[in-house]
Amino acid sequence: MAARRNRPRSRPRRPAAPQPPPAPAASAPAASAPAEVPAASASIASAASAARAAGPAAPSEPARKLTASGVDRGRSLAAFLADRLAIAAPDADALIRRGSVYIGRRRIEDPTRLITAGDQVSVHAAPRGRAIGRQSSARASAVALPVATWVVHRDREVIVVDKPAGVASQATRAASAGALDRMVTEALDHEARLLHRLDRDASGLVLFTRTAAAHRRFSDLLATARLERTYCAAVWGHWPKPEGALSGSIGRDADDHRRMAVGQGRPALTRFRLIRHGSGPGGEPVSLLQLDLVTGRTHQIRVHLSHAGHPVCGDALYGEGHPPLDRLFLHAHRLAWPGATPVVAPVPEALSDLVG
């Protein structure tokens, strides 16, 4: 029998960089926000308004936006990124060649491209223009940037990271690769310890302590509700009250070990404030809320909101009967503790756009 010849494979053509769609006409929100809002609510509302005013969001939101100054003029894009992101040169080169880096709205794949003063450089978790499917697909593509690009605050005591949706906070025996705590200890600080967890499909701020003394101090702040944790969430339906609290003990659901349920377990308290009402996919009413955790039970916000009849948009576990979306629209927006300036992670454009 004659040997079968191996035919050379032809390389598929690389698709052209997607062009931005025209900006849609602005529309008024369905209802106004409460007349008086505290600082955290104001920051959520202003961030959401700014995102809407900027026009339609790209399929992938920038994990880091950088502006080149006069001293950067003439440097290569790879050298600029390596310096600004505190990453190795090969990592910067790989980011560019993968199509994750834009200057303005143009994707740049040449690491030697020279920087000019005023260049607006954005680094994305995945090349813009690539569609992301259901939650499983979003989860698979989330870990695409070095963890150093997610750091929003670092001092002698703590590191605060803006975690993308789809990344597990803590490694388990079944899955350790790609977990946030493993990435932080390997890339940033071998002594860092995770203080609190954030649901895999949620995004936002996660705090790591850097010393044993810091871990004791921040654990005490967490236990005594002096570490303020503010979230924003898009929920299904027309939220009925401007502000208030959700309470009820939370424990493991006896019928489904994946879920938590109200009515058993440990006491839990979530404070809420309505930011605005809007119209979501298919015209279904949605609401944007600020939520402050007083306690920190597993899935606390998701369980309390679902129990109230308004599950978080995109929640596949607690949002039965609602359209599936590409992510969980829950974001850890703000952390604050005594003696420090609050740390804030901008509201994702996808979240503010949903509550249009």
| Catalytic residue positions, numbered | 199
Q: What single string gives the DSSP state of each residue in 261-282?
A: EETSSB--EEEEEEEEEEE-GG
Structure token digits, residue 66: 């950088």
Whether 112 contacts 93, CB under 8 Å: no
The DSSP code for 355 is -
According to DSSP, the β-strands at 330-336 and 343-344 are antiparallel
Q: E strands, 116-209, where?
A: 120-124, 151-154, 158-163, 193-194, 203-209
- What kind and span of H or E run contains 330? strand 330-336
CA distance 101 to 83: 15
Pick the closest to residue 240 from 49, 37, 34, 45 (CA basis): 34
Q: E strands, 69-168, where?
A: 101-103, 106-107, 120-124, 151-154, 158-163
